[in-house]
Amino acid sequence: MENLELQQLVETISIDLFGKPFKHKAFFNPRLKSTGGRYLLGTHNIEINKKYLEQLGKNELIGIIKHELCHYHLHLEGRGYQHRDADFKSLLKMVGAPRYCNQLPEVKQKRRPSKILLYRCTSCNLVYQRKRKIDTSRYVCGKCRGKLALVKEYLA
C-alpha cells in the first residue's frame, strides 16, 4: 500500500464512519517508532507507521486510522480531542476505534529481562531486594543502621 491508497482509505473511512470529509493529507511516516500514527495539530495531517500494516495487517491499520480521525474531527470542531477528554472517549467507542494500538511483535522481542539485586546488612543480616543499584557508601540498613553489601545479582 502506498500513500495514495492510504489517502483514499482515510477519506473513505472518514465519510463512512464520521459522515464528514477528510480534507487534509494522510501519509506513511517511516520515522515513527513507538506509535501507530499521529494527528498533527498544526497542519491537520495524519501520519501512519507503515510497520503496523506490514506486521499486524490491515485491520490494525484501520483501527489506527479511526483513532487518528477521532482526534482530527474533534479538533476541527473545537471539542475535546485529547486522550483524557470525554468527547474523545465517547467518539472512540461510537466508531469502534481502539484507545491504544497493539505493540509491534519486534518490540515485544526486544524486551530485556529485569535484573534483581540482593543486598545484605553486614550487622543484622537483613536482606534487601532491589531492581536498581544503590550506593552502599551512602545508604545503610533501615533496621540497625549497619553497612550494606551486594550479595547477588541475577536476571528474573
Does residue 153 contact residue 116 with C-beta atoms inside 8 Å? yes
- Whether 47 is catalytic is no
Q: How, if at all, do strands 127-130 and 46-48 pair?
A: unpaired
Does residue 50 contact residue 30 with C-beta atoms inside 8 Å? yes
Question: To 10 degrees, the CA torsion angle through 22, 28, 34, 37?
Answer: 10
Task: Tell me which of 11, 60, 68, 77 is the catalytic residue.
Answer: 68
Q: What is the DSSP letter of 152?
A: E
Please list the alpha-helical segments (H only) found in 36-117. Answer: 50-56, 58-77, 86-95, 105-110
For residue 53, give every residue at least 6 positions away whose Cβ sits within 8 Å of its Cβ, in sequence order, or none.
1, 60, 61
* Catalytic positions, written as ranges: 68
